[in-house]
Amino acid sequence: MATIIESNACSICTKSSAKFLCIGCSAYFCSTHFKEHQQQLSTKFDNEIVKSHDALFEQIQKLENSNQVPSDLFALIEQWRKATIDKVEKTAERARHELTERFDKKRKVMEKQLESITKEIHIRRKDDDFVETDIHRLRQQIHGIQRLLQHYIGKDTTKTTILIDNDQIDWNRLICIRGDQQNSKYLKLKLNNRTSFL
């Protein structure tokens, strides 16, 4: 802090016996006033630096101990979670509805085919008008409907496919937390192409 010099005037008492130069403020001091200057600097350091440091350290420790995160951030994450679940539910409902429609169409086709066979059976039975080729043809038609029915009620799903492609969803990019590099007082929360700043 100080260097001893030959002789200069003290910046406080203006005595020419100043032997100390403060390299921080470039002022000269006599030995008495140099000690006072040192004491003032020590007090200033304690008041402006040490106390500010200790207060800041205490605030950071309180954050760590209380796990304080702004509730607005958690509210945004919860909002995203609910919206995402809602979209998944709607997508699943749409797929269920589409699957039900497909099977209803197949059922109606089978009913229509069976209705045609039923009418023919009643007419042929009533009139006693059938031959071997009629029996063979009707048997083939009935077997065809039976195969469709087995596919419909059985576990054979080779003709109906449900594609589930979760690998296309990059869950790490759907929601991410970033500190804004340009303005560090904001925290940026990106939710499905929508960005919120807090």
Range of the structural domain that residue 64 is part of: 9-68
- Distance of alpha carbon 192 from alpha carbon 176, whole angstroms: 10
Asked if residue 51 has pLDDT above 90, the reply is yes
Of the pLDDT bands very low, low, confident and very high (cuts 50, 70, 90), residue 184 is: very low
- Distance of alpha carbon 133 from alpha carbon 170, whole angstroms: 61
Query: Is 197 inside a domain boundary?
Result: no
Query: Is 183 inside a domain boundary?
Result: no
The gap between the terminal CA atoms of the chain, to the nearest Å, is: 45
The predicted pLDDT at position 156 comes to 53
Between 21-30, 104-113, 134-143, 168-177, the lowest mean confidence (pLDDT) is in 168-177
Q: Do both 56 and 82 map to the same domain? A: no
The predicted pLDDT at position 186 comes to 44
Strands (E) across the chain are located at: 2-8, 18-22, 28-29, 175-179, 187-191, 194-197
| Total count of domains within the chain | 2
Q: Do both 62 and 138 map to the same domain? A: no
Q: Do both 54 and 81 map to the same domain? A: no
Query: Is 172 inside a domain boundary?
Result: no
Q: Do both 90 and 18 map to the same domain? A: no
Q: Do both 147 and 96 map to the same domain? A: yes
CA atoms within 13 A on the CB side of 178: 14
Of the pLDDT bands very low, low, confident and very high (cuts 50, 70, 90), residue 106 is: confident
Q: Do both 36 and 104 map to the same domain? A: no
Query: Is 180 inside a domain boundary?
Result: no
Q: Do both 120 and 140 map to the same domain? A: yes
What's the pTM?
0.49
Of the pLDDT bands very low, low, confident and very high (cuts 50, 70, 90), residue 37 is: very high
Query: Is 141 inside a domain boundary?
Result: yes
Strands (E) across 9-147 are located at: 18-22, 28-29
Query: Is 104 inside a domain boundary?
Result: yes
Query: Is 46 inside a domain boundary?
Result: yes
